[in-house]
Amino acid sequence: MTQTRPQYSAADIADIARRARIHILEAVAHAKGGHVGGPFSAADMLAALYFRVLNIRPEEPDWPDRDRFVLSKGHSSIALYTIMAMRGYFPVAELQTFDAINSRLQGHPDMTVTPGVDMSSGSLGLGFAAALGIALGARVQQRGFTTFVMLGDGECNEGIVWEGAHVANRYQLDNLIAIIDHNKLQQFGWRGETTSERITPYTGSQLADRWKAFGWQVLEVDGHDVQAFLDTMDQARAAPGGPVAVVAHTIKGKGVSYMEGNYKWHSRVPTDEEFAIAMDELGASEGGGA
Amino acid sequence: MSDVTLGKAQRVVFGETLTELGAHDPRIVILDGDLGNSTRADIFEKAFPHRFFQMGIAEQNMLGVAAGLATIGYVPFISTLAAFATARALDPIRVLIAQPRLNVKIAGAYSGLLAGKTGKTHISFDDLAVMRALGHMTVVAPADETETRQAIRATTEYDGPVYLRLSRQPAPLVFDDAYRFEIGKAVVVRRGSDVTLISTGVQTTRTLEAAEALAAGGVDAHVLHVPTLKPLDTDAIVEAASETGLVATVEEHTILGGLGGAVAETLIERHLVPMKRIGLPDTFAESGPDDALLDKYGISSDRVAQAVRTFVEHPRA
């Protein structure tokens, strides 16, 4: 199989993710809608996937032997679009059409309009089942590619996730890697001591334990440590015998101080002042373009 | 209909036809929701064990897996009851199959009122309305063994999502081997001049029986069989309505949004005539013997004939 993975360093990828966050916030501010917290928690991993891990050809999005990637946490679409644009699937300038009428960049990923999007998603849990189907078929056809799927931790509330977790284990799908963006918060979430405090859906090792209980091999990693994430992906690809769940510990809103760990930034449009602070913290003056 | 020839049950035809087609078409696979020995997908499993995927009692995941398989060239058929496919797994059907127009064939077994003494949880007579409302979805409800065999073949040749409504019990043959099913085409199965009966699925057998009973009482019914609910053969419906100027729809389905709804939508825009919808009312059903259910819920041939007679006497009542 032709290897078409460019050799970006971990530092290169971290900088791509930093610039991606700038584009993401610009696109959301421009669209006056969209999600920020989840895209920021996933940005480093998406950059690593598209710039190093996935065997893909942006100039040939339907290349049959490409690795598949399904963003099951479809509300982080703007992060996916941004990374894909930076990787060359479509012009970065097109990010300004996010959520606009007639745009190829819909609020949630739509495989029928966006080149390189392998599966539509948005109703949570569904993308995971579809990824499982791709992996199952690929194994029967003895195809060499790997299917990656990214879920949110809140998404793991959905029953369909555990239906699929059971089935993937029964079929011992060693060509399926699930990455769980464990950013510890969901849209509104679970009440803490007071109504303004929202707490993680899965405390401690609960999330990893659940995947282990369903027979998956579980790897844990800091989802913002690019080198560690790249090493974990290598390990996940090489792991024999069955599906691998990578529980990636992340911070919702990562990269902007006032967003980090604040559930209110799940989906919110920044004010002009907030936008300026964020751009400053993300180092927009050091180069924000693609 | 005194010398009726009983055809095979549609579920048996499902298993047999996919086994025949599967021998030449390696794209065909079946995903089973732990009902293969009811839906008769077990016939296919015996021939092609490696193309039969047990998905367990987890319908949502099963429909999602089918979508994934379709993206890499498979033609997945779903094996579960109509109720579980169209109600429980509606979200994956909508988002992963209908919206991206993926090539998945959803066979809804045990559809309609006759779900084998199981009761309202397993009975499904709103499936046509639900599936017809979904964008991109083709909806097919064949009448008998002959048409089911051909419809299954046609759905494998068509590239896109299809809901295939199948019933449990053996039913009399309506069509002989000379018949040619085509997606989107309705067919006149009886010529008459007093009233037009428009029918779909296995109900067409009972509609034809009702037409015989009506003929004995001097009412000559024209019968149009509509095996494809979507895309609907609106020209055939308008033409059949023009033949008699009176239309009654007959279906083993609720009168809300199924064939009756589809025909009403057509006639109100193109050819307004007095119309009566015969089918299940706004209700859920119950368990019981088949004949008793058909009679109680108004779709036995006797009850249909009675309803049509009343309609013909007082079309604007």
Residue A279 has pLDDT above 50, yes or no: yes
CA distances to A39, A82, A164, A234 from A47, in Å: 11, 9, 26, 15
Average of per-residue pLDDT across B6-14: 95
Instruction: Please give, rounded to a whole number of angstroms, the shortest distance from the CA of B61 to a CA of chain A.
Output: 5
Q: Does B63 touch chain A (CB under 8 A)?
A: yes
Residue B2 has pLDDT above 50, yes or no: no
Q: What is the ipTM of this complex?
A: 0.94
Single residue among B132, B165, B198 that ends a domain in this structure? B165
**Interface contact flag, A163 B68, Cβ < 8 Å:** no
Single residue among B116, B134, B165 that ends a domain in this structure? B165
Residue B113: give its domain's CATH number: 3.40.50.970
Q: Does A128 touch chain B (CB under 8 A)?
A: yes
Domain membership of residue B1 (yes or no) is no
What are the chain A neighbours of B68 within 8 Å (beta carbons)? 119, 129-137
Cα separation of A2 and A123, whole Å? Answer: 34
On whether both B19 and B70 belong to a single domain, the answer is yes
Tokens 């993300």 sit on residue = A282
Domain membership of residue A32 (yes or no) is yes
pLDDT confidence of residue A24: 97
On whether both B145 and B228 belong to a single domain, the answer is no
Domain membership of residue B32 (yes or no) is yes
Give residue B22's domain range: 10-165
Structure tokens at B316: 């604007």
pLDDT digits (tens, 9 = 90+) for B203-251: 999 999 999 999 999 999 999 999 999 999 999 999 999 999 999 999 9
CB contact set of A255 (below 8 Å; sequence gap of 6+) = A18, A21, A40, A43, A281, A282
Q: Which long-range contacts (CB under 8 A, 24 or more apart) does A211-215 make?
A: A211/A165, A211/A178, A211/A180, A211/A245, A211/A247, A214/A162, A214/A165, A214/A166, A214/A169, A215/A169, A215/A242
On whether both B153 and B210 belong to a single domain, the answer is no
**Interface contact flag, A141 B72, Cβ < 8 Å:** yes
The candidate with the shortest Cα–Cα distance to A86, out of A7, A179, A149, A23, is A23
On whether both B201 and B112 belong to a single domain, the answer is no
Question: pLDDT confidence of A5, banded at 50, 70, 90?
Answer: low
Residue A37: give its domain's CATH number: 3.40.50.970
What are the chain B neighbours of A119 within 8 Å (beta carbons)? 67-68, 71, 96, 100
**Interface contact flag, A134 B71, Cβ < 8 Å:** yes
**Interface contact flag, B67 A128, Cβ < 8 Å:** no
On whether both B126 and B214 belong to a single domain, the answer is no
pLDDT digits (tens, 9 = 90+) for B112-162: 999 988 999 999 999 999 999 999 999 999 999 999 999 999 999 999 999
Residue A53 has pLDDT above 50, yes or no: yes
Beta bridge partners of B227: none
On whether both B21 and B143 belong to a single domain, the answer is yes
What are the chain A neighbours of B50 within 8 Å (beta carbons)? 140
pLDDT digits (tens, 9 = 90+) for B247-293: 999 999 999 999 999 999 999 999 999 999 999 999 999 999 999 99
Domain membership of residue A4 (yes or no) is no
Q: Which of B56, B65, B91 is nearest residue A136 as measured by Cβ atoms?
A: B65
The candidate with the shortest Cα–Cα distance to A39, out of A19, A23, A18, A24, is A24
Region of B218 (left: φ > 0; alpha: ψ -120 to 50; beta: rest) is left
pLDDT confidence of residue A7: 84
Residue A290 has pLDDT above 50, yes or no: no
Domain membership of residue A60 (yes or no) is yes
Question: pLDDT confidence of B5, banded at 50, 70, 90?
Answer: confident
The candidate with the shortest Cα–Cα distance to B75, out of B145, B156, B180, is B156
pLDDT digits (tens, 9 = 90+) for B33-61: 999 999 999 999 999 999 999 999 999 99
Domain membership of residue A167 (yes or no) is yes
Looking at the structure of chain B, the number of domains it has is: 2
Q: DSSP 3-state assignment of B159? A: coil
The candidate with the shortest Cα–Cα distance to B290, out of B118, B142, B145, B174, is B118
Q: Is the dihedral of CA B246, B251, B254, B260 positive or negative?
A: negative
**Interface contact flag, A132 B68, Cβ < 8 Å:** yes
133-172 of A, contacting B, C-beta below 8 A: 133-138, 140-141, 143, 159-160, 163-164, 166-167, 170-171
pLDDT digits (tens, 9 = 90+) for A161-212: 999 999 999 999 999 999 999 999 999 999 999 988 899 999 999 999 999 9
Instruction: Please give, rounded to a whole number of angstroms, the shortest distance from the CA of B123 to a CA of chain A.
Output: 24
Q: Which of A118, A129, A143 is nearest residue B60 as measured by Cβ atoms?
A: A129
**Interface contact flag, B69 A133, Cβ < 8 Å:** yes
Give residue A91's domain range: 10-286
Mutate to test the interface with B, among A62, A160, A171, A172 (most CBs of B within 10 A): A160
Question: pLDDT confidence of B28, banded at 50, 70, 90?
Answer: very high
CB contact set of A266 (below 8 Å; sequence gap of 6+) = A35, A36, A37, A38, A185, A186, A187, A252
**Interface contact flag, A133 B64, Cβ < 8 Å:** yes
Element (H, E) at A48: helix A37-48
pLDDT confidence of residue A244: 98
Domain membership of residue A254 (yes or no) is yes
Domain membership of residue A198 (yes or no) is yes
Looking at the structure of chain A, the number of domains it has is: 1
Residue B284: give its domain's CATH number: 3.40.50.920
Domain membership of residue A3 (yes or no) is no
Residue B3 has pLDDT above 70, yes or no: no
Domain membership of residue B181 (yes or no) is no
What burial class does residue A64 get, using C-beta atoms within 10 Å of its C-beta: 0-12 exposed, 13-18 middle, 19+ buried?
exposed
Question: pLDDT confidence of B1, banded at 50, 70, 90?
Answer: very low
pLDDT digits (tens, 9 = 90+) for A221-253: 999 999 999 999 999 999 989 999 999 999 999
Q: Which of B55, B70, B95 is nearest residue A126 as measured by Cβ atoms?
A: B95
What are the chain A neighbours of B72 within 8 Å (beta carbons)? 134, 137-138, 141, 143
Question: pLDDT confidence of A288, banded at 50, 70, 90?
Answer: low
What are the chain B neighbours of A127 within 8 Å (beta carbons)? 64
pLDDT confidence of residue B316: 86
Angle at CA of residue B306, ends B269 and B202, nearest 5°: 70
Q: Which of B63, B68, B101 is nearest residue A137 as measured by Cβ atoms?
A: B68
Cα separation of B169 and B10, whole Å? Answer: 7
What are the chain A neighbours of B60 within 8 Å (beta carbons)? 125-126, 129, 159-160, 163
On whether both B54 and B136 belong to a single domain, the answer is yes
Share of chain A above pLDDT 70, in %: 97
On whether both B106 and B52 belong to a single domain, the answer is yes
Domain membership of residue B100 (yes or no) is yes
On whether both B17 and B116 belong to a single domain, the answer is yes
What are the chain B neighbours of A167 within 8 Å (beta carbons)? 55-56, 58, 61, 65
HEC profile of B213-279:
HHHHCCCCEEEEECCEEECCCHHHHHHHHHHHCCEEEEEEEECCCCHHHHHHHHHHHHCCCCEEEEE
Residue A2 has pLDDT above 60, yes or no: no
pLDDT confidence of residue B236: 98
pLDDT digits (tens, 9 = 90+) for A86-144: 999 999 999 999 999 999 999 999 999 999 999 999 999 999 999 999 999 999 999 99
On whether both B143 and B195 belong to a single domain, the answer is no
Cα separation of A39 and A31, whole Å? Answer: 15
Domain membership of residue A1 (yes or no) is no
**Interface contact flag, B96 A120, Cβ < 8 Å:** yes
Residue A42 has pLDDT above 90, yes or no: yes
**Interface contact flag, B67 A130, Cβ < 8 Å:** yes
The single-letter DSSP state of residue B158 is S
On whether both B23 and B151 belong to a single domain, the answer is yes
